[in-house]
Chain A
Amino acid sequence: MSTASRVARRVEEVPFLDKSDVSLLFVLPGLFVFSAFMLFPVLYLLGISFTNAAPANLFAGEGALSVLTFGEAAFVGLENYARVLFGGTFDLVLFGETLLTLPINGQFWNSFGVTWLFVATSVTLKITLSLAIALVVTGERVRGKRFMRSFIILPMGLPAIFTITVWRGIFSSAEFGLANQVLAMLGLETVSWLSNRWMAFVAYNVTEAWLAYPFMVIITVSALQDVPDELHEAAMVDGAGYVARFFHVTLPSIKKPVLFASILTAAASFQQFLIPFVFNEGGPARQNELIVVYGYREALSFSQYGRGAAISLIAVVFIGAFMWLNVKRGRLADGVNEA
């Protein structure tokens, strides 16, 4: 101990350690490791996206240096991007009639549109669901809340791919699929879930909501617990009922954390891969191909790494812009120090 502390004290004496910018040193390791695993692959991906990389040529060549030369893949300039964005045609169909044929890649733009739609619907669903659950498991009159809360996060402990496989079973179109059985019990028609575009879309949303709610609930619950009781009491004395209190006290007080969680979860929705892939590979007939699935399929199923990379990067640019906007607007990077 004494030697150690003597050494430590010696270190303390080094004058520059008192300089405030030296604190950057604390942040650098994390930043470095993160960059190494995120930024380098991103740059690599960027490189690939300008080539005709495919499994056959990408891995050719010997030694670590060939990583940097992308094997024997050839430089093709912006061709991948051009193809992704403008290859093929897109028919604008309304009421069964083709109104307009645009010279753009219909598959990509369809996928792009569906992805944003999915973000919008699934985030709405997630927020509503989690808020409802959080309110229930923090309810004043509810007993055994702690146990309920720890059961409720179970979906978080299961690997997503397992959960999604199970949900695919639930949304089986068969008469005995769980969802259909429930419908039948309610006296409703059964539904061909995954072979109908919008029904499949609904199934994606439900599953996504189920996967994401534990995280949202945890955040919402802790936000709810930070709402001062006095505010509720003041409102009660002011004559506000439950609903009024929810809108005038609860909601404004938890707005910020919930907004934060929503932004995170929106980004997660944007990048959802497993649900469409496992359910019906973005089907039926590639109609619900979310953008990451689209990129994946191009990259792996069709062995077009270059094009896949271009798609991924386009997706990343969009989600990055989305996050940037939200983070800026929600001032999430601000801390108390800047307040």
Chain B
Amino acid sequence: VGVQSQGDQTAQSGGESSTAGGSGESAGTAKAWYALPDTELPARKSAIKQFNQNSAHTVEGADISDMQKKTTSAIPAGQGPQTFEWAHDLAGDYMERGFIVDQGDKLNVSLDEFTDAAAEAAQYDGNVVGLPHTAETVALLYNKELVDEAPQTVADMKAVMEEHHDPSNNKYGLGMPFADPYFLSAWAHAFGGYYFDHTKEEQLGVAKPETVKGVQFAVDNFVPYMPNDPTYEPQASAFAEGNAAFAINGPWYLSTLNEKGVDYGIAKLPKPEGGDPSPFTGITLWYFSKKMGEGGPSAAAARAFAEWYVTNEELLLKNAEETGNIPVLKSLAESGDLPENVQGFAEAVQQGYPMPAHPKMNKVWDPVKAALTKGFNGKDVPKAMETAAEEIRGNWE
């Protein structure tokens, strides 16, 4: 007795036929991990399908719910994927822990094909640890129904916020996840400050006057116009429901906005007086995980996939349109015919400052976050930043 699902038949036969026409290499199977919102999942799945159909190799994609935790536990245990997708800032830490490996000498793609920032982000300590495909950063979003034109300076923006801010009627000036150092980085950097820079003599910049000034500036100019909760969700909700004039947020936010039906515009961040906003940018990489170090067909498969993915203009462009991700492939990034959505973010990227990938950065985030929370709640900013700096130094020991 045999039972067979009729629908499956075609899929199976289709899958097998593709193995026939491959290159000289033996065909391998690689696991690729990613963590995507489910709006972006279908596109990813079809991309993988496309790859599998056109290549001798097979890639098995998996959407992971908590990437950092999963990779931290799975990779050292030999259970991890060949490649996984994440922002470049993990590179230092993971490299030191031996979670990712250098594949520079085996690549068929030159890093020159990418924007400088992206090429730099793909390397750590001279090792090529992954291939970059998109950049992301935060930009200014404005509600077109409330705001006619994107403000150029913070002072302009403040005037508009003043006009719209009215919490008792559920109206706000701005929605920005204040307590997140990433979102606040533009302002912390605006007057020459920095959180951490391992190239500088004083690596920790958290308590430096320039940084404190930037944070203080944000506290003074933005906090009064924001909902009272500095975390992501409520801040995002205010703008997404049309209740805030501005938002400072990244491309991942666009799907929410589209779903809610807000009419928004994207622009680069406004200038503060005497400074320049400079947000952290993140470059998303297909990392080369420890497993690839073992070589063999599966590593080849992963490499082939990453190479295919990051150089596939059609795919990247489609991605850009659908999700607002900024391509880092030079041919696209510099072509100028990016979709309007992406344009705003692309400009913001120009303002940006790549996140440090040094492992020490790991221990910076949480204390700064605590300090920002304090600042948001009206505590003394310099003192909070000083405390954070102390804690970071303590943790570094």
Q: Do chains A and B touch in the complex (CB under 8 A)?
A: yes
| Interface residue ranges, A against B (CB under 8 Å) | 55-56, 58-59, 169, 172-177, 180, 190, 192, 194-196, 281, 283-286, 300-303
- Per DSSP, chain B at the interface is helix
**Which B residues lie within 8 Å of A192 (CB)?**
228-229, 377
Bound form: Cα–Cα A194–B369 in Å: 14
**CB-defined contacts of A174 to chain B, threshold 8 Å:** 227-229, 234, 238
Chain B positions 346 through 387: 1 when the CB is less than 8 Å from some CB of chain A, otherwise 0: 000000000000000001001000100110110000000001
Asked whether any CB of chain A lies closer than 8 Å to the CB of B69, the reply is: yes
B23 contacts chain A at the CB level, 8 A cutoff: no
Q: Which among B69, B78, B97, B227 is the interface contact of A300 at CB below 8 angstroms? A: B69
| A56→B377 contact, CB < 8 A | no
* A281 partner residues in chain B, CB cutoff 8 A: 366
Contact of B227 among A169, A175, A285 (CB under 8 A): A175
A-B contact pairs, 18 of them (CB 8 A): A58-B76, A59-B78, A172-B233, A174-B227, A174-B229, A174-B238, A175-B167, A175-B227, A176-B238, A177-B229, A190-B228, A194-B229, A195-B374, A281-B366, A284-B370, A285-B387, A302-B363, A303-B97
A180 partner residues in chain B, CB cutoff 8 A:
228
Identify the 6 closest CB pairs spanning chains A and B, nearest first.
A59-B76, A174-B229, A174-B227, A173-B229, A174-B234, A172-B229
Q: Nearest chain-A residue to B231 (Cβ)?
A: A172
B72 at the interface (CB under 8 A from A): yes
A173 partner residues in chain B, CB cutoff 8 A: 228-230, 234
CA distance A55 to B72 in the complex (A): 8
Interface size class of B (residues with CB under 8 A): 20 to 34
Closest Cβ of chain B to A62, distance in Å, is 10
B370 touches A283 (CB 8 A): yes
Nearest B residue to A60 via CB reads: B76
Question: In the complex, what residue of chain A is closest to B168 when comparing beta carbons?
Answer: A175
A177 touches B98 (CB 8 A): no
B229 x A56 contact (CB < 8 A): no
Nearest CB of chain B from residue A89's CB, rounded to whole Å: 12
Is the pair A300, B72 in contact by a Cβ cutoff of 8 Å? yes
Q: Give every chain B residue within 8 A of A190 (Cβ-Cβ).
A: 228
Contact B370 A176 (CB under 8 A): no
Q: How far apart sit A114 and B98, CA to CA, in the bound complex (Å)?
A: 37
Known: A175-B228, A192-B228. A55 touches B374 (CB 8 A): no
**B170 within 8 Å of A by Cβ?**
yes
- A-side contacts of B229, CB under 8 Å: 172-174, 177, 192, 194
Partner of A284, one of B69, B97, B373, B395: B373
Q: Which residues of A contact B230 (CB under 8 A)?
A: 173, 195
Task: List B contacts of A283 (CB < 8 A).
Answer: 370, 373
Task: Provide the bound-state CA to CA distance between A193 and B1, in Å.
Answer: 64
Within 8 A of A (CB), among B81-103: 96-98
- Give chain B nearest CB distance to A176 CB in angstroms: 6
CB distance from B397 to the nearest CB of A (A): 11
A177→B229 CA distance, assembly (Å) = 9
Tell me the smallest distance from the CB of A45 to a CB of chain B, in Å.
Answer: 16
Task: Indicate if B3 sits at the interface (CB-CB under 8 A).
Answer: no
User: Is B20 among interface residues, defined by CB-CB distance under 8 A?
Assistant: no
Complex CA distance for A180 and B228, rounded to whole angstroms:
10
